[in-house]
Amino acid sequence: MTPTTQMTSAPETVLLITNRSGVWNVKINGRFYGDYLRQEWAIEAAFEKRREIETNGGNARVLAP
């Protein structure tokens, strides 16, 4: 019988995109990451950061309206 190996996954990083008074805001795990004047720019920045996190072995999810 072979021993079972347990894979440990990296904790999930949450990138949250919100809009307040016409400014799109990106937060990573509740901490400020950036403000953007267009929704598309905020989404692009969040997904770019997600790719960076995943490239370095992390686990990330983008939450957007």
- For the chain, what are the domain ranges? 12-29+36-63
Task: Specify whether the CB–CB gap between 26 and 33 falls below 8 A.
Answer: yes
Looking at the chain, how many residues does it have?
A: 65
* Predicted confidence (pLDDT) per residue in 5-54, tens digit: 555 567 999 999 999 999 999 999 999 999 999 999 999 999 999 999 99
For residues 62 and 43, give the distance between their C-alpha atoms in angstroms, rounded to a whole number.
8
- Whether the pTM exceeds 0.85: the reply is no
For residues 33 and 26, give the distance between their C-alpha atoms in angstroms, rounded to a whole number.
5
Per-residue pLDDT at 10: 75
pLDDT over threshold 90, residue 4:
no
